[in-house]
Structure formats: C-alpha cells, structure tokens
Amino acid sequence: MIFALHIMLRFVPNIVPLPIINKKTMTRIGLLSDTHAFWDDKYLKYFENCDEIWHAGDIGSVEVARKLSAFRPFRAVYGNIDGQDIRRLYPQTNRFTVDGAEVLIKHIGGYPGNYDPSIRGSLLVKPPQLFISGHSHILKVKYDKTLDMLHINPGAAGISGFHKVRTLVRFCIDNGEFKDLEVIELADKL
C-alpha cells in the first residue's frame, strides 16, 4: 500500500513522498530473580512501564509467576529451589530474541570468567548478546569482552537468603543494543 502510494506520488509535480518510518519503539524489560515465593506489590509499580517481565529463577511459587504473567508478558526459567509445579511451566534454560538481541537466561550461570560448567559450553559455542543468571543473590552487571556479551544478575527480589537489600533491574533493548539500565533497590530485607 505505501509502495503503491509512492509510485502514484512520483507522477504528481511538486509532491515529494515522505520517508517510511519504522514506528517500533524499543522494548522495555523488567528483570528480577530469587523471589523465593515472596510477593511485593512494588514489583508491579516498578515494572508498570515495562513491555515484558523476565524472571531468572527461584520463583518459589506458581502464585508469584501468575501475578507477574497476568501483569505483563512473562518469560522465566526455573531455579534450584523451584518444585515440579514451576518446572512444568518454565524451562531450565531459555534462549530467545527480542528487538534484535539474542538473550539466554539460566538460573545457575556464574559470571564472566567463572561460568557454571552447566552453561559454559553453550556460551563458548554460541554466545548470546545478553546472558542473565540469578542464584547468587548478588546484583552484578558485567561486560564479557572475551565473548562480546553483557551479563546481568539482578540480585534477589525476595527475602530469603543472605543479601541485605532486595533489588530489581530495568533496561531497554533497542535494535540489538542495551540502554538505560537501572538498578532498583526495593528495601532492606524484612
């Protein structure tokens, strides 16, 4: 339709066709991990402007997953504390592409220079642009120069574990690039 319109306009004097503009905007992501069945309404507050929510495992209950998936499109992996109810719903590893960026999520993944043996081979053979893991309850964002890959661990959003502060991460993916990364401190553990 637009192509036909450009052809028609070419024959009308003094009218220049407008360029075709791709109106797709970047994809806004809300990322969390290690909720361990703990629910906080602040998850929805901070993910209100996100297009998708991703969970890096240890969800802890189907109820937490249902609340998040009812709010926004939801991608998740199961973690080591998740029971069969969660494992039936979500994979151990999730590889997908969003807005031109290949993403890989696995709960137990390690860090650049010290990846877990269960995922190291996949990362070395076909590294994604973004690798997300949880498990450690330690918030960390690090670029792996060797694999040309960004690694994000969003820390822990729940109250179980040794961490002192509960955290979430927000960021945007725009044509394969990662932008506007924000770390959100929810509060000290209860």
Does pTM top 0.75 for this prediction? yes
Distance CA 84, CA 5 (A): 56
Q: Look at strands 93-98 and 101-106 and give their pairing.
A: antiparallel
Tell me, what's the pLDDT at 18? Answer: 46
Tokens representing 165 are: 């502060």
pLDDT tens string, the chain, 190 residues long: the values are: 233 333 333 444 444 444 544 545 799 999 999 999 999 999 999 999 999 999 999 999 999 999 999 999 999 999 999 999 999 999 999 999 999 999 999 999 999 999 999 999 999 999 999 999 999 999 999 999 999 999 999 999 999 999 999 999 999 999 999 999 999 999 766 5
What is the rounded CA–CA span in Å between residue 96 and residue 50? 18
137 burial via Cβ count (<10 Å: 0-12, 13-18, 19+): buried
Find residue 55's DSSP bridge partners. Answer: 32, 76
C-alpha span between 54 and 29 (Å, rounded) = 7
Token pair, residue 158, equals 């729940």
In the prediction, which pLDDT does 107 show? 99
Number of alpha carbons in the 13 Å side-chain half-sphere of residue 168: 23
CB 150, CB 123: distance < 8 Å? no
Question: Cα angle vertex 167, ends 161, 173, to 5°?
Answer: 135
The helix/strand/coil state of 187 is strand
Could you give the CA distance from residue 174 to residue 55 in angstroms, rounded to a whole number?
A: 20
Structure tokens of 9? 């306009």
Provide CATH code, domain 25-188: 3.60.21.10
Handedness of CA 54, 46, 63, 189 (dihedral sign): positive
**How far is 57 from 35, CA to CA, in rounded Å?**
8
Residue found by looking up tokens 């945007």 in the block:
172
